[in-house]
């Protein structure tokens, strides 16, 4: 590891170290949200609600494909950081080569399984007769491009894991810039509508993946994609999948939650689904800022867990304070301008009213959802596989019964508020587990 990266892992002040790892991740994730929002904005300029509905309905599928990348990326990334913290740099090449080729294979398997069942997938996503065709177009392109999407999320994680946070950020921003340019081209020039937006997403992920491959091949000291280092051992499989599997399960649950939520919202019309799609994309901006903060410090937590647990304690404390400050700032902004934010995407009065309401309610749980992400990151970084697994399923297990009961009791309002209740339950479970595991993490906590 070069001297600069080692300095931030071991010697820099906690605020500087957290900033080094988290700020690039925060910028990168916020840029990814911007292009997600712009996808909806570009389609919104066509004033076609069914297209916006299709974009909302496909969120669960993208979440699952992304999850496959995080399965390998987060599992390999935290393992790489722990290996570096323990001075086992030579083993990193085997882990990074394993991550690269395994992610490509997973993407190809996803494409091979998904394409023959395309109609069934679109129906399961909750497409209405009006939105079925647009949803099918988007799903088809996403499945074809799934190897590149999986690879992108894998490489972003392992590049960041060796301390190259800025390089990781550049790759994410590159994907955003390419996506925005292509979105404008396919919507306003080529008039490809939904199929163009999906294609732009896939191509942008491919461009960023190629950037990461270049970095690994020519600039990284320890990472490699050379096939000669590819190795499948019990140690690699155990460490990667112990942490990666809970990440996959959590993402699948989040995708399933979006799917179930969409099915309930369909009962209240396409406007309800489109309103949730728009508001959830707007919510992604502060959520992904907080996610970038929490995920950005995971390599630092993983490294210090094996090298300096006292430093780990201060890192976690500083991160919690940062989450609170950011949540308060974003909350104030949303409550002041929520109507105007939704109005950027549509001129439908009902859609604006419903979207603004959803946005304000969901923002109530911004701090606790940020803390939940931090709890999960701590468990991943410290190889607490069981706790990470519980965090991966608790929100989904809570939401499903709450959603049913709330819908029966309060209709549309109950469906929206069920998200806040599920977030609160996940927060409480995470806090209890962190307390119970404090002895294992001493003197970290």
pLDDT of residue 222: 85
What span, in angstroms and rounded, lies between the C-alpha atoms of 296 and 299?
Answer: 7
pLDDT of residue 294: 86
pLDDT for 39-87, tens place per residue? 777 776 766 677 777 777 787 788 788 888 888 988 898 889 888 877 7
What span, in angstroms and rounded, lies between the C-alpha atoms of 234 and 383?
Answer: 16
Average pLDDT over residues 410-417: 84
pLDDT interval class at 147 (50, 70, 90): very high
Q: Is 204 exposed, middle or buried (0-12, 13-18, 19+ CB in 10 A)?
A: buried
Considering only residues 339 and 133, tell me which one the structure prediction assigns the higher pLDDT.
133
What span, in angstroms and rounded, lies between the C-alpha atoms of 416 and 187?
Answer: 32
Q: How far is CA 350 from CA 273, 342, 363, in A?
A: 12, 11, 20
pLDDT for 306-352, tens place per residue? 778 888 888 889 999 999 999 888 888 877 877 777 777 777 777 77
Considering only residues 332 and 281, tell me which one the structure prediction assigns the higher pLDDT.
332
pTM tops 0.85: no
Percent pLDDT > 90 in the chain is 22
pLDDT of residue 286: 84
Q: What is the mean pLDDT of the chain?
A: 83
Boundaries of domain holding 282: 3-441
Main-chain phi, psi angles of 428, to 5 degrees: -65, -45
Average pLDDT over residues 296-304: 85
pLDDT for 218-277, tens place per residue? 888 889 999 999 988 888 998 888 878 877 777 777 667 777 777 788 777 777 877 787
Q: Which of 31-45, 358-372, 422-436 is least confident?
A: 31-45
- Give 141's Cβ-side CA count (13 Å radius): 20
Report whether 125 contacts 60 (CB < 8 A). Answer: yes
Report whether 204 contacts 178 (CB < 8 A). Answer: yes
pLDDT at residue 94 above 80? yes
pLDDT interval class at 32 (50, 70, 90): low
pLDDT of residue 444: 47
pLDDT of residue 141: 92
pLDDT for 110-130, tens place per residue? 999 999 999 998 888 877 787
Count of the separate structural domains present in the chain: 1
pLDDT at residue 404 above 50? yes
Angle between helices 234-266 and 270-296 (to 10 degrees): 150
Q: Is 210 exposed, middle or buried (0-12, 13-18, 19+ CB in 10 A)?
A: middle
pLDDT at residue 105 above 90? yes
Which of 71, 32, 89 has the alpha carbon at shortest distance from 251?
71
- Residues in Cβ contact with 105 at an 8 Å cutoff, skipping those fewer than 6 apart: none
What span, in angstroms and rounded, lies between the C-alpha atoms of 243 and 247?
Answer: 7
pLDDT at residue 384 above 70? yes
pLDDT of residue 183: 85
């Amino acid at each position: 590891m070069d001297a600069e990266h080692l300095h931030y892992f071991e010697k820099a002040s906690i605020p500087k170290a957290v900033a080094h790892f988290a700020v690039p991740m925060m910028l990168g994730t916020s840029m990814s949200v911007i292009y997600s929002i712009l996808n909806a904005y570009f389609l919104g300029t066509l004033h076609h609600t069914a297209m916006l509905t299709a974009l909302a309905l496909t969120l669960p599928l993208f979440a699952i494909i992304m999850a496959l990348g995080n399965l390998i990326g987060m599992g390999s990334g935290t393992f790489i950081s722990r290996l570096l913290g323990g001075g086992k740099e030579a083993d990193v090449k085997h882990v990074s080569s394993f991550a690269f080729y395994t992610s490509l294979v997973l993407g190809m398997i996803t494409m091979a399984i998904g394409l023959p069942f395309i109609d069934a997938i679109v129906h399961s996503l909750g497409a209405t007769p009006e939105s079925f065709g647009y949803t099918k177009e988007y799903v088809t392109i996403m499945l074809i491009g799934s190897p590149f999407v999986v690879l992108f999320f894998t490489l972003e994680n392992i590049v960041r894991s060796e301390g190259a946070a800025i390089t990781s950020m550049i790759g994410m921003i590159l994907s955003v810039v390419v996506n925005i340019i292509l979105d404008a081209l396919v919507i306003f020039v080529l008039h490809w509508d939904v199929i163009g937006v999906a294609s732009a997403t896939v191509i942008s992920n491919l461009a960023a993946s190629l950037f990461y491959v270049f970095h690994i091949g020519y600039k990284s000291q320890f990472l490699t994609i050379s096939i000669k280092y590819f190795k499948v051992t019990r140690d690699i499989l155990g460490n990667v999948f112990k942490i990666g599997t809970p990440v996959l399960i959590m993402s699948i649950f989040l995708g399933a939650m979006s799917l179930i939520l969409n099915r309930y919202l369909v009962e209240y019309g396409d406007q309800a689904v489109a309103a949730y799609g728009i508001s959830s994309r707007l919510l992604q901006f502060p959520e992904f800022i907080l996610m970038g903060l929490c995920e950005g410090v995971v390599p630092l937590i993983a490294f210090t867990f094996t090298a300096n647990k006292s430093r780990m304690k201060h890192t976690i404390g500083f991160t919690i304070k940062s989450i609170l400050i950011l949540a308060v700032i974003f909350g104030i902004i949303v409550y002041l301008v929520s109507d105007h934010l939704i109005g950027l995407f549509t001129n439908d009065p009902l859609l604006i009213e419903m979207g603004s309401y959803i946005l304000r309610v969901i923002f109530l749980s911004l701090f606790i959802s940020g803390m939940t992400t931090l709890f999960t990151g701590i468990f991943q970084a410290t190889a607490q596989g069981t706790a990470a697994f519980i965090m991966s399923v608790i929100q989904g297990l809570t939401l499903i019964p709450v959603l049913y009961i709330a819908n029966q009791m309060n209709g549309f309002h109950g469906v929206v508020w069920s998200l806040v209740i599920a977030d609160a339950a996940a927060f409480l479970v995470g806090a209890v587990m962190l307390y119970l595991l404090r002895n294992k993490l001493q003197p970290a906590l």
